[in-house]
Structure 1
């Protein structure tokens, strides 16, 4: 039985909603009867009830309005009635509806303890609201409200004009923040419509002036008239980009041109992946007749008997048969966090992807340099949205550049082929005779003259390719790591990785200014030892974070080590600055009184700054590599490698490359001589023939075989290694670190720091079995399929 107070509130709200109006029969001039919405004679103040309801933890008022279906039955028809009327009264009606819709669609925070119990139920109503507001001409009538206030100069705008703009942006933010419903293809029609609302909303944005309005406000975010709305526009753009891959957006129009072929290739890939999974699964599952194929009894040392119904028992070992029946003990183990990025794809329609690509290109051309902003009013979640948006557009820019260079190389090959196959006779001028080198140089010069300019140059992302932005991203990574904001750390690591990849592309650019800027930024971000310590902490702090966090950190580590190795080889001498705390030495007795009097005048902060000393040391890349050669790093990488059957080839390359750096280059072998690592390697080798074939998987298996051979080779020399493999750490494994670099080498004398000698080259003698492993990846490894 309902609470009497709730029944009273419900009756009061019902009478208020009824007073708004309703459908009436209206006769048209041709004699037909139509139902049109008519405004009521009296409407009480619904805003007052909604304002009161939003302050309640239970949100009972909002639930009652949702049960009455206020938006679909009253507000949407009221907006459509005044949509085509250009009058002040019609504008007031639409604005009044927007003032009601905005608090009713306000997004809830599922991490908030007060809003968590009602999150799922309210989200269902929000989806119904979003579906109702996607009716034709509704969003167009709402966005028409901001045209007049925006046409007024900023200094002449009233408070009402600013409020109207803010309300419309809030409504757009609320709609883009409502996630789609995840359903199966066999769901009902209404549920399927709720599963594609986001792409329908994007199409409506692009076919109406809404997307143009958002891009215009984003491009003028540094101006005073738009500075107030920066955060809202950034949040809207983030919500649009959140559930789509830049690669899918870039290939959107390409896939539409060859839709049938693309669909066929996708289906074939899906079938191939399914067959691979079935093949691996069939090796462990019993078949229909396995129970009757043989029964075997195992007798234990205490006389107990164990019956096995499996034909494999005739040739399998006893330990293997018993271990297959064991269940893992999960007591005391925490669950890993759920991946919140890339959970599902919101845009599958080719038309929506084409619109998204146009939006991305327009954003790069006119808006990207204006999204970077440091303001006191920016909240914690705004940093996440900023770096996610920056990473998304930088990755899309990389695809544009890759396509441009691919087309350029194809044109050069075609032109070179045409010239070589042409029957035209090229006569040298006058009596001079050109050599073949001169002819090829002339051809290449002619090709360069006919080249088209880069469609999206690096000036469009100048705000991201700035030293200040790199330092801000590093600072945000450090703060998020200290506060244990793992999602922020994941987004920051992804963004910084993409910034480094863009910096790599700039370093190989034919333009001198881009190369100089890339060297300048790398020289500054590599100057602090704390930066390298931060990246090592990102790996060592991994416990129960999501798989996406681990993938982001592994890829960032790979890109950083690859770029740093290349940059350090390019520089003859490279310095890093370290921060050290030094104890002040006691002075002689005659100077003690004078020192105490001076210290009393100093503040605590000045005293601390005097104790901290910065010293520059000669950077050695081998020392940094040695810091990754630990058991913890190998254990964390192996936890990612547990998903070897589903990992992408570029992730396998990242893992194999770091393993190669540790075992072959640094000759640190004992982290791989542990029972969990060897068991993982054994499972990969046994299932190698059933796994998807790729060069990355072949290189990984090659490393595993080399590692296993080294283990048995060392075990023959040191039999206790079989015992040490059972323990996490031992006191006698240090003798295996033959190639480890002592960190004490960094503590060189002042004479060596002031007059450094060039870093010595790597010593020869790397084992031939490991020399075939990939020391470096191709520059475009992030774009491998």
Structure 2
């Protein structure tokens, strides 16, 4: 069946005929104008029921079915201008006291709100929406024209009058119906403020009748502005649920209005209008002059085609008579034909928010400017803080009445009124300065009028919203937030220079809070660097925020030299392996990647000093430069302030940061040249023209100089500069960097005393790798050994053949074989796996070079023959065939441990324990080194023994006079000499080498003779002591006296130094710690030493008896100089005195 093609707009039914007929019937029954009195509207018999039926049709048919058919029919029937507005006019004139007429007026208001509701283009629109939206947009403009003009300019006042009874009721006594009436009235005012002529549709009637100026004048004349001001001042008390609607009305009244022009005086406004007119005429004149250069002539209808011979001899064809004028026009024509239109990816369809677009400027006439300025001043004085504080709280708690678009409107409106407050103060300051001496001195106002948005809660909300918009790429929301943040910074900047000290303190506190967070700095940088293809309004806000933020931060950092900022970084945590094998197995079952490095979302917060030069250098990159270059590309439309902003950035790049190389790109240089020299240059009458001219001259001058120094720059002019290229062009060489390599793992050793052979060692290490799940690494070692053995065997056969052919030929050593990893995993394991490295050392592999870094070469040395490699390979195979147990002591991993490298504290403690007996000085350098090893006991056992042997001695009864420094120095030298001579006589068997057996027989005979005499003499002394006792031995007495005297000297020297340091209290504290305090020789007793208690109690009386304490002898008491009591340290039963203290 063939379908008949019908032209659109003729016989196509856009609305269901039944719906149209029923709606038309309701409109007809509603009422109309009487034939006798054409100016008087007459209601129908049941007009209230008709209004309610129309409302049901709008709700149940259009809203429920997501259609616009009923609204289209009502628009075609002219129900607003022909019925609703006349009914409201009738009620305002005669029927305010009639309840029935009041109900009808309220029903009309209920219909006006949905019929004037703003229409938006979004991605959920149906065919029905696209069919009806253009018509309804034009119909709404007609509705607004009728509302502002009809009824003797009382329709807005009538809507307000309908809601007055509900406003008079206290908030606690209002019902839901009263709140609904207030909401209807405010939404009606909002809709009237929103409706504006659509630029994409043909205008009908005079556009000035529905302009912003007409709206503001109507709001002022019909007391709507007074109502809004009253409700804003009482938001926190009587009108809690109306805050969002009030904010929307303010947004649509002030969006796009230039605050500077709003607060200009009449004289300034007049001169401004004159200058604007002159600039427009000048632009028109320049455009006409440029056009005349290429204007068509009487012969321009003829076609033209020419050939252009280029430098390389090739011919190019250019068409058009413009190419005949001069060579420049010809080349421009060629360049235009070569222009590459880069295909752009299909952009994601975004919902149109034309009604909330604040980037389009709005112009007001003088009357509307005066009315709006008066309203703004009154609002700043009384309604700013209550309204915006309440709206911010509603946004924070995500109230149901708050929509996504309201957050954008909130930040833009806050920023606009903050700018208005700054401009108003500047205007007042100009007036005061102008009338100086004529008017009385007026005290400056505090910034408390706008303090509701200068608190920490607002900053938190703003920062969170900015980061969310940046992450979600909601550019228009971010645009409004950047405008708000910029105005907050400028307001704080003026507060800092306020004559009021309170304002100065508040400004200092706010700046400290804003600049303290490094995340704010990083966010500003990310916004500037992230510009791509957003709108010009976004670009303007972005560059202005960066300019203001950098300038204020620079000034604040200079005033606060010790400025601190808080930085947050992600922390990395490593999960440690369990020491116990059972715990490790259990953890492996739960999570196989437990031993790997994990990144957590935890934030590490730390404070650091702020360096402004370092932060400003972050803006010296190609992305930021591209952002400001794109902004400068609009130089013909930019104001002097905007051009100055771009000039300051390029000046900072070129001269403050010395990064002129970033500007050496062909398109940037061409833009700078066009700004000054043309074609279409900057207007030379602007105040910043001279500054731009000097900047461009210096940049081109540096470019020419740099081209002579770096010929490579000729090529780099075509491209953006990366960091390495910038460094090379600036300094002439590449930047030398040292890569921070990872440290090798601690060395692992085998602790088993039974693993003395290579086979047993291989069994342990291979078993540990197998239990770790690294059998692939063992197999790789097998493969390397197998291939190395084959290669080495071939070499050995070749060498044998050469020797058989010519026995006199010199044999060559086996060549080294490089150990090659099969992949990156094995390469990393060769550096990071300590057990694999131990296995490689056991099989005989060696590492080349001194540095142990990732990627270091390992080789099979030439000393290993093929037989050795085969033997090692067979041992590894046997180890792999052996089953390994992970239980208890059989686990081979328990027989491996990290090699103890020693720590600073342990070395110091060991240095104290390892005493060179016979010397009472510790820490002195011996010229030829000690001839016996350190104490072989482990640290743990030595400490346990020391704890057992610590005893406390009684303190001295009286202090004695300390010795002078010269005496102490002489005694120290004597003790050192004595120590060296005694150590030279001692030789340990650990230091006896094979070369010692080469001594002659005479020396050995003399040595054994002396040893025999020493044993006999010692036996005699022991026997004599058993018979007579130690007190009757004169030799023992002499030894005791010498020991007593030596100890007294040492104690006096030590105590003298301690007294100079004034550490008497430290001695008492050390006594409490368990150190043994050695008493005066006259008072101390001899401690008993037993062989079972101290393994250092040797029988060598000749070597150690001088240092062992004994009872003092009365006859020797006068020989000793009186010394003060001192505190001694004992290690293993021996007194250790340190002159280094």
Question: Normalising to structure 2: TM-score of the pair?
Answer: 0.56
Partner of 1:407: 431
> Which of 215, 219, 235 is the aligned partner of 2:233?
219
C-alpha deviations, 1:672-708, integer Å up to 9, x for none? Answer: 1122212222322322895312232321221122111
Partner of 1:101: 112
TM-superposed CA distance for 1:367, in Å, is 0.6
Bigger mean CA deviation after superposition, 567-576 or 149-158:
149-158
- Alpha-carbon separation, structure 2, partners of 1:266 and 1:298: 45
**Does the alignment pair 1:40 with 2:44?**
yes
SS of the equivalent of 1:733 reads helix
- Alpha-carbon separation, structure 1, partners of 2:336 and 2:172: 76
TM-superposed CA distance for 1:305, in Å, is 5.0
TM-superposed CA distance for 1:411, in Å, is 4.1
Structure with larger Rg: 2
Check conservation: 1:127, 1:180, Cα contact below 8 A. yes
TM-superposed CA distance for 1:320, in Å, is 5.0
Quickly say closer, same or farther: Cα 1:593–1:468, change in 2 above 3 A: farther
**Does the alignment pair 1:73 with 2:82?**
yes
Quickly say closer, same or farther: Cα 1:131–1:215, change in 2 above 3 A: same
**Does the alignment pair 1:354 with 2:356?**
no
**Does the alignment pair 1:272 with 2:264?**
no
SS of the equivalent of 2:567 reads strand
Check conservation: 1:102, 1:167, Cα contact below 8 A. yes
> Which of 59, 65, 77 is the aligned partner of 1:56?
65
Check conservation: 1:181, 1:195, Cα contact below 8 A. no
TM-superposed CA distance for 1:389, in Å, is 1.1
Q: Mapping of 1:6-21 within 5 angstroms?
A: 6-21=16-31
Check conservation: 2:380, 2:417, Cα contact below 8 A. yes
> Which of 706, 713, 738 is the aligned partner of 1:714?
706
Check conservation: 2:138, 2:197, Cα contact below 8 A. no
Check conservation: 1:50, 1:62, Cα contact below 8 A. yes
- Alpha-carbon separation, structure 2, partners of 1:284 and 1:698: 30
C-alpha deviations, 1:225-268, integer Å up to 9, x for none? Answer: 311111111111111112422223213xx33x788766544422
Q: Mapping of 1:85-124 within 5 angstroms?
A: 85=95, 86-114=97-125, 117=130, 118-124=132-138
Quickly say closer, same or farther: Cα 1:576–1:287, change in 2 above 3 A: farther
Partner of 2:683: 692
Aligned CA-pair RMSD: 3.5
Partner of 1:428: none
Quickly say closer, same or farther: Cα 1:206–1:320, change in 2 above 3 A: closer
**Does the alignment pair 1:538 with 2:527?**
yes
Partner of 1:461: 450
Quickly say closer, same or farther: Cα 1:295–1:138, change in 2 above 3 A: closer
Bigger mean CA deviation after superposition, 324-333 or 555-564:
324-333
- Alpha-carbon separation, structure 2, partners of 1:66 and 1:408: 55
Quickly say closer, same or farther: Cα 1:653–1:231, change in 2 above 3 A: same
Quickly say closer, same or farther: Cα 1:388–1:214, change in 2 above 3 A: same
**Does the alignment pair 1:664 with 2:655?**
yes
Partner of 1:762: none
Quickly say closer, same or farther: Cα 1:609–1:344, change in 2 above 3 A: closer
**Does the alignment pair 1:504 with 2:493?**
yes
Structure 2 stretches of 5 or more lacking a match? Answer: 1-10, 591-597, 741-1141
SS of the equivalent of 1:578 reads strand
Partner of 2:609: 618
Partner of 2:32: 22
Quickly say closer, same or farther: Cα 1:316–1:359, change in 2 above 3 A: closer
Quickly say closer, same or farther: Cα 1:280–1:3, change in 2 above 3 A: closer
Check conservation: 2:572, 2:599, Cα contact below 8 A. no
Check conservation: 1:477, 1:489, Cα contact below 8 A. yes
Quickly say closer, same or farther: Cα 1:677–1:392, change in 2 above 3 A: same
Instruction: Report which structure shows greater RCO (CA 8 Å, sep ≥6).
Output: 1
C-alpha deviations, 1:556-598, integer Å up to 9, x for none? Answer: 100000000000000021111111223224557549999999x
Partner of 1:323: 335
Q: Mapping of 1:319-718 within 5 angstroms?
A: 319=331, 322-323=334-335, 326-327=338-339, 329-332=341-344, 341=357, 344-370=360-386, 371-372=388-389, 373-375=392-394, 376-377=398-399, 378-412=402-436, 450-454=440-444, 457-585=446-574, 587=576, 590=579, 611-687=602-678, 690-693=681-684, 694-718=686-710
SS of the equivalent of 1:228 reads coil
Partner of 1:248: 261
TM-superposed CA distance for 1:656, in Å, is 1.4
- Alpha-carbon separation, structure 2, partners of 1:67 and 1:505: 55
TM-superposed CA distance for 1:64, in Å, is 0.6
- Alpha-carbon separation, structure 2, partners of 1:211 and 1:174: 15
SS of the equivalent of 1:72 reads helix
Quickly say closer, same or farther: Cα 1:323–1:582, change in 2 above 3 A: same
Bigger mean CA deviation after superposition, 203-212 or 569-578:
203-212
Quickly say closer, same or farther: Cα 1:295–1:152, change in 2 above 3 A: closer
SS of the equivalent of 1:612 reads strand
Check conservation: 2:196, 2:210, Cα contact below 8 A. no
**Does the alignment pair 1:235 with 2:266?**
no
Bigger mean CA deviation after superposition, 717-726 or 206-215:
206-215
Check conservation: 1:181, 1:194, Cα contact below 8 A. no
Question: Normalising to structure 1: TM-score of the pair?
Answer: 0.80
TM-superposed CA distance for 1:490, in Å, is 0.9
Check conservation: 1:131, 1:194, Cα contact below 8 A. no
Check conservation: 2:144, 2:210, Cα contact below 8 A. no
TM-superposed CA distance for 1:321, in Å, is 5.8
TM-superposed CA distance for 1:516, in Å, is 1.0
Quickly say closer, same or farther: Cα 1:578–1:345, change in 2 above 3 A: closer
**Does the alignment pair 1:196 with 2:210?**
yes
Query: How many residues are matched?
Result: 687
SS of the equivalent of 1:526 reads helix
> Which of 728, 751, 755 is the aligned partner of 1:735?
728
- Alpha-carbon separation, structure 2, partners of 1:16 and 1:314: 73
